[in-house]
Amino acid sequence: GDLIENVDKLAAEHRFDYLIIESTGISEPMPVATTFAHDDGHGQKLLGNVARLDTLVTVVDAKHFLREYNAVRRQKLVDRRELGAEQTDQRTIANLLVDQVECANVLVLNKVDLTSKREIARLEILLNKLNPKARIIHSIFGKVDPTLLLNTHSFDMAQAEQMPGWFQELLGNHVPESQEYNIASFVFRASRPFHPKRLDRLLSSGFSDVLRSKGMIWIACDHRFCLLWGQAGTSMRIEQGGPWFHGSVDPSQWPTDMSAEYRTATYGDRRQELVFIGTDMNEAHIRKRLESALVSDQEFNHGHDHWASWPNPFATSDEGTSNKIQKLGLKRPRSGKHAEVQVMKKTTTSEVCTKAAPKS
């Protein structure tokens, strides 16, 4: 679009060594970053032929980030007119804040002069949980040494796709906990499906003290596709992902790093893999609730032909919205606040379901 056209023109002038692109406050950085590939895979040339993406920076307001995150986590972008979002934009502010942190390879922590050392330390620990590979730089009035941002050769698309803390946790690269600030994370794994009705009930009550959770899930009534689970604050998104390898791809074509157990398991690579990041989390209680939503031993023995007859509350229509709900107010048991659940259908096949993460 306009970005590609304008960068092409500036590059052709040969007058500039560096170009700083400031996205709008509601843009997702990764789609912008992908325009710096050489082509789109269909022959359309992109910016990679005339420019190199050097650094992807997100500025974090140290004074207001946590307060705003907690205050607006129920709000959608369209609820704040000053943000200029289209009426069709269903993203929540909480999800946008997390997405912008997770994709950057440099995080500028601004307004540190207006924040206590303890709060800065707590925020840094949280940011490190969300994005353990990003470099964190402190700033006042947004002043940063240009050498930390320009010509760093620090951005790599393959690495950027693996930057989010939830992805690193799935790979077994655990970020040490901070006992002082009670910020922790854990991975939930299971090799049997969720019962759709019990999972729906579980989501309707939310998760206290969980700031971020993400991963992929397997529900019993959908044998072909995985679902992508994404939660930020009280906002939850359930999206249709790609097909499981088992039953859709010849085993000889599976990735070489696929866990051996998935090749021999009755249901192949179908599984639950979820990462939870939060403060003061009761891990044992969350695990117990998740396990209670799985199919029982008796139900598991019935097999997928029987499961297919169960109603699917997460089914999506061709228009990409849930046949049952598009959003649902969810009560958080301890805070009394409500969350929002969105059930969506992705327009492209997700690679998340086809990546077999090594077990930690």
Tokens of 24: 């709008």
Longest dimension (CA), the chain: 71
Q: Going residue by residue through the chain (360 aa), what tens digit of pLDDT does each one get?
A: 678 888 888 888 989 888 888 887 777 777 777 778 766 666 677 788 888 888 889 999 898 887 777 655 567 777 777 667 777 777 777 777 888 888 888 999 999 999 999 889 988 988 888 888 889 999 999 899 999 988 888 887 777 665 554 444 444 554 454 455 577 888 999 999 999 999 999 998 888 788 889 899 999 999 999 999 988 776 788 888 889 999 888 888 888 878 888 888 999 999 999 989 888 889 999 999 999 999 999 999 999 999 999 999 988 654 443 433 333 333 333 333 334 444 443 333 333 344 444 443
| Cβ-contact 32, 103 below 8 angstroms | no
Q: Tell me, what's the pLDDT at 181?
A: 56
Neighbours of 132 (CB within 10 A): 17
pLDDT at 346: 39
> Strand order in 106-110's β-sheet?
57-61, 106-110, 135-139
pLDDT of residue 347: 32
Distance separating alpha carbons of residues 37 and 46, to the nearest angstrom: 6
CA triple 339-345-349, angle to 5 deg: 125
The pair of three-digit structure tokens given for residue 334, joined into one six-digit string: 């301890």
pLDDT recorded at residue 324: 36
pLDDT at 180: 53
